[in-house]
Structure 1
Amino acid sequence: MGLSPKLLRHVLQQMLPALDYSKSPRRVGNKQTASAAEHSLQNPDTVLYDAWLASRAVPANKGGLLTPGAQRPLSRENVALAARIARRSSLGVLSLLWQLYPGRILALVSLDLLRGAFPVVRGYSQALIINEVQAVISSGNFTVCTRLCRLIATELLRAALESGFDAFATANEDVVQSSARFALEYRLMEQRVRMDVPTLADPHTRDLFQESDLFVRSFSGVANFGLFSPLDFLRILTLVSETLSHVFVLWTLTTDRTHLSLLAFSIISYIFPLLISCWRQYPEYADDCQDIKAARANAKQNKMRAMAQSDSYRSEIVLFGLGPWILENWARARKATLGLDQPRSLPVDTAFNIVTSSINATGLLMVLQNVPMLLAMQSSSATLGSFTLYRNSIQAIAFSVRQLAQLSRMAFQSIFLMGAFSAALQVRPRLQPSPEDKLAYPSSGKGMKIEARNISFTYPGSHEPAVRNVSFTLDAGETLAIVGYNGSGKSTLANILLRITGFDGGELRVNGADVRRLDADALHARTAAVFQGFARFDASVRQNVGVGHVADIGAPLAVQRALALGGADAVVAALPHGLKTRLDAAPGAGAGAPLPHFADAPRACQRGRPHGLSGGEWQRIAISRAFMRAQRPEVELLLLDEPTASLDAHAQNRVFETVEELARSETGERTKTVIFITHRLSTARRADKVAMMENGTITEFGTHEELLARGGSYASLYQASV
């Protein structure tokens, strides 16, 4: 039984208010208080996020944080943090689980409670059989075994019923676990795809989503991969029920001094081996600094392995002779992950463990455990069945206690993962305005007017701004060429204008409205772009182009028109399966390096083999992707970052002619604003205005002729290029 889309939508709609258990952010005057959560995540539930972040603190390393998913130490501070997180997040998560399948959840709880009584019933039934066998042997009358046969038949029936019960309970649990995982995974995926670049660039946000993924993965059965989900708390309930059942049986059967002595000897014979094992010294958890060191070493060895195996690095590895360097770094990191970088010896505690292990292996303790059985055989009131029931119950209680301790430790860790999941659902994208500040996009129908006033931006971790005090005005329908030296901030400015990246200072207005008050998704729907580092999807041609306007991704005519506009129709015509050809997204996978061809492979397999493209062919695909959206009437801005870097002069001219056509309506009026970044200054003459960027700022702005007449940096660069 699956989770229907209608039910899923209802559950997810109910989940948001269930998890929105916080008030609006605290304000002082017109400014919000600068808590850690509001500064880094714009998270309305600051208490939940701050508690989660505080739990990751490394006591021995001031300012250090545990790696995502690392074990939290069991300390007084962390217990208080866990209680705080549980109070703020458990209600929302549990309400979601209950809304999935109320009937199945109720059945799951009831069945797990009943499961706790099964071991006791099993032990009692088997004890009766043992007592009856003892009675038959003692009497010497082997001809009358009616009661024994009845007990055996009852035990077989009980075992069959228990197996059927377990099968039904397991099937019900699988449905609940799978449905819960899908619902939570869907919600987390929905939240993740909403995030913008600045939000995901924050390391705390990445860690938050990584621990949220671990929480979702925990819904895969009891203690899967060491993870513990809220549904696994039922396992604790089962163990408690089982323990109480065994205690009740022991209490009711201990009716006289003989049984009391038998119980005491059974307990002592079981505890004695545990006392021996307690003398041994086991390694404790590695300290937090060791965890961080191991994580870094593991990341480094994975990076070196990827460099050695990836074809995208092969040319430079061969050219620069990086093989020995990669091998040396991988070996050092791999030794650290395996613990081979530390000297090893045989300390006293290890030797003691070996000795005690060998003593335990002699069977002496097994003999001691059978002492109560000898006493039972000498007693007239005690039976072998009683002894068996005593010993099995004591062992079951001890096992349950150990399991409870282990599961409690895992449950303690799962609270922090649950807190991460709940906090992640509250993260608001940094570029998304608050509902009370949001403005509708002011469409002009004539293109996008852009006004930049003293815009500055510094990348996280950098001391120097990538863009500083940029100011210009571009009227609706105009074309702007941004030129400059490498590293002058051109692409960064493009990302700011596209609202891919935010800015630290200044003001940016679009059609007269403050861009920070516009919905980022609405703004993106009015823009089309070709990025310098465009994406190469491991998918078909139709999908690679169709993602430019997802609504038409299944419309071959729209895709073919975009390919024709981008000049990629000839590229597709040469492919073996046209629009259905799957493209190889690996960098450097050109047509000259095809995958191995197997002549005897089925035709369907041959169709699935990815096809490599050259750099220029990929650029045509990227341009066609942008034109897929640019031909839409609602688009008001077309931005191209080095769109023709891999194309020849004729292809370049055709691209810019197409851009000019797309920027005009059928009547010839300008309906789109165009911005292009180029290092070919000959194309800058096409623009209405030119912006010369140096050291992160615009030093010259005007028409091509004006900048040439000025005789500044643009004129020098232009003369050098021609």
Structure 2
Amino acid sequence: MAPPLAPPPASLVSRLKNAGSLFKQLPGTFRLFWQSGPRLAVILGLLTLVAAVLPAAIAYVGKLILDGVVAAAKGGGDPALRSHVMGLVGIEFGLMLVSALVERSLSLTRELLRANLGNLLNERILAKALELELRHFEDSDTYDKMQNARREASSRPLSLVMQVFTIARNVVTLSTYAALLVSLAPWSVAVLVVASIPAFIAEARLAAEGFRLYSWRAPEGRKLNYLEWILTRDSHVKEVKLFGLGQLVLGRYRTLFQKFFNEDRALALKRMGWGLGLGILSLGAFYGCYAFVANRAASSAISVGDMAMYLAVFRQGQTAFQGILSSIGSMYEDALFMSNLFAYLDIPTGSEQPRVLPPLKPPHGRNNAIELRDVSFKYPGKDAWALRHVSLTLKPGQKLALVGENGAGKSTLVKLLLRLYEPTEGSILYGGVDLRDMDVEDLRSRFGAVFQDFVRYQFSVAENIGLGHVPALEDRNRIVRAADLGGASPVITALPQQFDTMLGGWFEKGQELSAGQWQKLAVARAFMREDAEVLILDEPTASIDAEAEHALFERFQALAADRIAIVISHRFSTVRMADQIAVLHNGQVEELGSHDELMAKDGRYAHLFHLQARGYRD
């Protein structure tokens, strides 16, 4: 459950201290910005500078035009004075054309940078995901960091950079305006500044609340997405219809959405209240200045052109100053979101790296034994042991079956063998080398595996199989052999384009398969690694019939004749083919031996075997 919103900092000083720490995100953000397009970054800077000086120039030329019109009218329509006015109009027209061109160019440059920067960051996020280990994906805090980073990656970095450019632009513009206002009355500059400060305070405070609101929503936002997933995915629709889950799930969706809506509404109302109050203050300051300037003009202390220029400059200067403060507030919010991105990118990894450099490499071949020496393991953040004091030795060519109730530690042991996790205590050796001293890619390249929760890739049949050994993805002969070994050939032959048939329902012309057919493709994928030294089958026959299961294991026994093979299965017809059977209970090896030895022992294995056999007889 998301934590409650913390109160905003109590004072302006504390808010500014907090903001200062967050602006440390700026250097990293600007590095990303520069890397996304150095030439475009330079162009953006030059265009911003030109756009900053144009408003004051246009306002000054406007004053000259108005004063020129008044002078020409008093001069009885002197052609020279009229020509001068027309020339000034032409200059202002040219300046407006340049302004329009600059604004369009700025918009184009921003869009190009947005695309480049968004793509760069998405690549960085995905590349980081490749570095993460299984423990990260099974940790909700890490997952929330990833989702927060992904959610804002396409907009926040550029927004933060653009706010900096906007501040620079408004500072230059405001400097030119201030020079003009000082000639009217120095205090008018102070009024312009003071009337805008409260807006900044409000923006900074509300930005912090908005960040906390959206960031801490991540766990509940994931729940909202999951409820939507239940009602929209084909894998859930049968149970939703059968058990009448629709209204229950939809009701929970509505409740959670209403909670989000109420939070958003409260923040929006607060923004409106502050905005209205500060808008009135700003308007009052403007009209106070308006009255002063109008009185000066009425008493002939300044010209009509001066009056028009001062009013335009004060209004636009007020807008520019408020823009600076608003940009600082937005930068604060953007920097908060950037802290999420950098927190994700800085997640420490590297436990997969070998303890010794260069890493040790057992000789390639099928003569390496696997040895577990007093291995114990508990998942991060958990107190209970998933495995405890497990010692096993698997010799080349030996077949080991793992049996036990759900949660006994069977799949956990496989995760340790593949170095998806590392033992909390003890060690695992491969060919006499501790797995932690091996290069993880070299280690995993020696294994072929099919898991119970295998992936159904929304790719072609050939790719679904070929992904088992990426270097051979284009080797159709090898893919065909793997399909034969996995028992998938009859399934493929019946498909419209056979190996070139697109699978799944996500994309156009995708062909959906039954669970058993998908599983045969997953088994074939495992057999793509023809040179694998170890084969792991985690419930490989859960979705196929008994005849297909028997055929699969006949092929499996032939393929694994000289390899180590590890089988996890609840079907004892499969298990009894193994040389050794390890019975796991509460994370410990309770029994170990062949089928005949364990039946003679008449312990847990024999009890489970008789229960299953009785079910078949009944």
Partner of 2:369: 449
Query: Per-residue deviation at 1:415?
Result: 3.8
Structure 2 gaps of 5+ residues are: 614-618
Alpha-carbon contact 1:297-1:336 (below 8 Å) kept: no
Alpha-carbon contact 2:293-2:311 (below 8 Å) kept: no
Question: In structure 2, how many angstroms separate the alpha carbons of the residues matched to 1:375 and 1:79?
Answer: 40
Q: How does 1:7-46 map to 2 (within 5 A)?
A: none
Query: Per-residue deviation at 1:310?
Result: 3.3
Judging changes above 3 Å, is the alpha-carbon distance between structure 1 residues 109 and 201 closer, same or farther for their aligned structure 2 residues? same
Counterpart of 2:487 in structure 1: which amino acid?
A: G
Question: In structure 1, how many angstroms separate the alpha carbons of the residues matched to 2:394 and 2:203?
Answer: 74
Give the alignment partner of residue 133 of structure 1, picking from 62, 69, 81: 69
Give the alignment partner of residue 217 of structure 1, picking from 145, 154, 178: 154
* Cα deviation digits, residues 165-222 of structure 1 (max 9, x gap): 344444444444443443333233212112111133334433443444356323675x
Question: In structure 2, how many angstroms separate the alpha carbons of the residues matched to 1:368 and 1:75?
Answer: 28
Counterpart of 2:49 in structure 1: which amino acid?
A: L
Question: In structure 1, how many angstroms separate the alpha carbons of the residues matched to 2:239 and 2:320?
Answer: 58
Alpha-carbon contact 1:455-1:504 (below 8 Å) kept: yes
Partner of 1:316: 239
Query: Per-residue deviation at 1:691?
Result: 1.0
Question: In structure 1, how many angstroms separate the alpha carbons of the residues matched to 2:436 and 2:115?
Answer: 40
Counterpart of 1:194 in structure 2: which amino acid?
A: E
Question: In structure 1, how many angstroms separate the alpha carbons of the residues matched to 2:565 and 2:127?
Answer: 32
Partner of 1:626: 526
Judging changes above 3 Å, is the alpha-carbon distance between structure 1 residues 577 and 385 closer, same or farther for their aligned structure 2 residues? farther
Give the alignment partner of residue 246 of structure 1, picking from 173, 177, 197: 177
Alpha-carbon contact 1:266-1:372 (below 8 Å) kept: no
Give the alignment partner of residue 552 of structure 2, picking from 620, 644, 655: 655
* Cα deviation digits, residues 320-339 of structure 1 (max 9, x gap): 33334324323322322222
Partner of 1:589: none
Q: How does 1:546-695 map to 2 (within 5 A)?
A: 546-584=466-504, 608-629=508-529, 631=530, 633=531, 635-664=532-561, 670=562, 672-695=563-586
Taking every aligned residue pair, what percent have the same amino acid on both sides?
27
Secondary structure, counterpart of 1:499 in structure 2: coil
Question: In structure 1, how many angstroms separate the alpha carbons of the residues matched to 2:210 and 2:188?
Answer: 41
Partner of 2:139: 202
Partner of 1:187: 124
Question: In structure 1, how many angstroms separate the alpha carbons of the residues matched to 2:218 and 2:339?
Answer: 23
* Cα deviation digits, residues 247-292 of structure 1 (max 9, x gap): 12333xx1xxxx44xx868987x899989999x9999675998768
Secondary structure, counterpart of 1:117 in structure 2: helix
Alpha-carbon contact 2:502-2:511 (below 8 Å) kept: yes
Partner of 1:527: 447
Counterpart of 2:502 in structure 1: which amino acid?
A: R
Judging changes above 3 Å, is the alpha-carbon distance between structure 1 residues 427 and 150 closer, same or farther for their aligned structure 2 residues? same
Counterpart of 1:708 in structure 2: which amino acid?
A: M
Judging changes above 3 Å, is the alpha-carbon distance between structure 1 residues 533 and 75 closer, same or farther for their aligned structure 2 residues? farther
Judging changes above 3 Å, is the alpha-carbon distance between structure 1 residues 81 and 366 closer, same or farther for their aligned structure 2 residues? closer
Secondary structure, counterpart of 1:654 in structure 2: helix
Secondary structure, counterpart of 2:527 in structure 1: helix
Q: Does 1:109 align with 2:53?
A: no
Alpha-carbon contact 2:290-2:311 (below 8 Å) kept: no
Counterpart of 1:694 in structure 2: which amino acid?
A: H
Judging changes above 3 Å, is the alpha-carbon distance between structure 1 residues 185 and 612 closer, same or farther for their aligned structure 2 residues? closer
Partner of 2:304: 384
Question: In structure 2, how many angstroms separate the alpha carbons of the residues matched to 1:411 and 1:272?
Answer: 21
Alpha-carbon contact 2:581-2:593 (below 8 Å) kept: yes
Structure with greater helix percent: 2
Counterpart of 1:183 in structure 2: which amino acid?
A: L
Question: In structure 2, how many angstroms separate the alpha carbons of the residues matched to 1:112 and 1:282?
Answer: 25
Give the alignment partner of residue 152 of structure 1, picking from 69, 72, 89: 89
Secondary structure, counterpart of 1:480 in structure 2: strand
Counterpart of 2:120 in structure 1: which amino acid?
A: A
Partner of 1:705: 596
Counterpart of 2:178 in structure 1: which amino acid?
A: V
Give the alignment partner of residue 324 of structure 2, picking from 404, 408, 412: 404
Query: Per-residue deviation at 1:94?
Result: 4.2
Counterpart of 2:606 in structure 1: which amino acid?
A: A
Q: How does 1:140-179 map to 2 (within 5 A)?
A: 140-141=76-77, 145-179=82-116
Query: What's the TM-score once normalised by structure 1's chain length?
Result: 0.73
Question: In structure 2, how many angstroms separate the alpha carbons of the residues matched to 1:213 and 1:569?
Answer: 40
Question: In structure 1, how many angstroms separate the alpha carbons of the residues matched to 2:21 and 2:272?
Answer: 41
Query: Per-residue deviation at 1:706?
Result: 1.9
Question: In structure 2, how many angstroms separate the alpha carbons of the residues matched to 1:75 and 1:457?
Answer: 50
Question: In structure 2, how many angstroms separate the alpha carbons of the residues matched to 1:289 and 1:97?
Answer: 25
Judging changes above 3 Å, is the alpha-carbon distance between structure 1 residues 655 and 173 closer, same or farther for their aligned structure 2 residues? same
Judging changes above 3 Å, is the alpha-carbon distance between structure 1 residues 283 and 429 closer, same or farther for their aligned structure 2 residues? closer
Cα RMSD after superposing both structures: 4.3
Counterpart of 1:328 in structure 2: which amino acid?
A: G
Counterpart of 1:662 in structure 2: which amino acid?
A: L
Q: How does 1:217-236 map to 2 (within 5 A)?
A: 217-218=154-155, 221=158, 223=159, 228=160, 230=161, 232-236=163-167
Question: In structure 1, how many angstroms separate the alpha carbons of the residues matched to 2:321 and 2:111?
Answer: 26
Secondary structure, counterpart of 1:468 in structure 2: strand
Secondary structure, counterpart of 1:608 in structure 2: coil
Secondary structure, counterpart of 1:217 in structure 2: coil
Query: Per-residue deviation at 1:650?
Result: 2.4
* Cα deviation digits, residues 82-132 of structure 1 (max 9, x gap): 656766x75565455545654543443333223211111111122222222
Partner of 1:36: none
* Cα deviation digits, residues 349-383 of structure 1 (max 9, x gap): 999999x89999xx999976653564355344522
Question: In structure 1, how many angstroms separate the alpha carbons of the residues matched to 2:431 and 2:349?
Answer: 23
Give the alignment partner of residue 352 of structure 2, picking from 424, 427, 432: 432
Judging changes above 3 Å, is the alpha-carbon distance between structure 1 residues 72 and 434 closer, same or farther for their aligned structure 2 residues? farther
Judging changes above 3 Å, is the alpha-carbon distance between structure 1 residues 235 and 72 closer, same or farther for their aligned structure 2 residues? farther
Partner of 1:15: none
Give the number of aligned pairs: 609
Question: In structure 1, how many angstroms separate the alpha carbons of the residues matched to 2:224 and 2:116?
Answer: 37
Secondary structure, counterpart of 2:591 in structure 1: strand
Give the alignment partner of residue 718 of structure 1, picking from 596, 604, 609: 609
Question: In structure 2, how many angstroms separate the alpha carbons of the residues matched to 1:116 and 1:473?
Answer: 75
Structure 1 gaps of 5+ residues are: 1-55, 62-70, 587-606, 665-669
Secondary structure, counterpart of 1:339 in structure 2: helix
Partner of 1:39: none
Counterpart of 1:471 in structure 2: which amino acid?
A: S
Secondary structure, counterpart of 1:709 in structure 2: helix
Question: In structure 2, how many angstroms separate the alpha carbons of the residues matched to 1:154 and 1:682?
Answer: 93
Query: Per-residue deviation at 1:525?
Result: 1.4
Alpha-carbon contact 2:293-2:310 (below 8 Å) kept: no
Judging changes above 3 Å, is the alpha-carbon distance between structure 1 residues 199 and 130 closer, same or farther for their aligned structure 2 residues? same
Judging changes above 3 Å, is the alpha-carbon distance between structure 1 residues 507 and 445 closer, same or farther for their aligned structure 2 residues? same
Q: How does 1:230-379 map to 2 (within 5 A)?
A: 230=161, 232-251=163-182, 254=183, 259-260=184-185, 286=209, 298-339=221-262, 371-372=291-292, 374-375=294-295, 377-379=297-299
Query: What's the TM-score once normalised by structure 2's chain length?
Result: 0.85
Secondary structure, counterpart of 1:546 in structure 2: helix
* Cα deviation digits, residues 634-654 of structure 1 (max 9, x gap): x21110011112222221122
Counterpart of 1:660 in structure 2: which amino acid?
A: Q
Question: In structure 1, how many angstroms separate the alpha carbons of the residues matched to 2:53 and 2:6?
Answer: 46
Partner of 2:616: none
Counterpart of 1:650 in structure 2: which amino acid?
A: E
Counterpart of 2:70 in structure 1: which amino acid?
A: Q
Question: In structure 2, how many angstroms separate the alpha carbons of the residues matched to 1:376 and 1:137?
Answer: 21
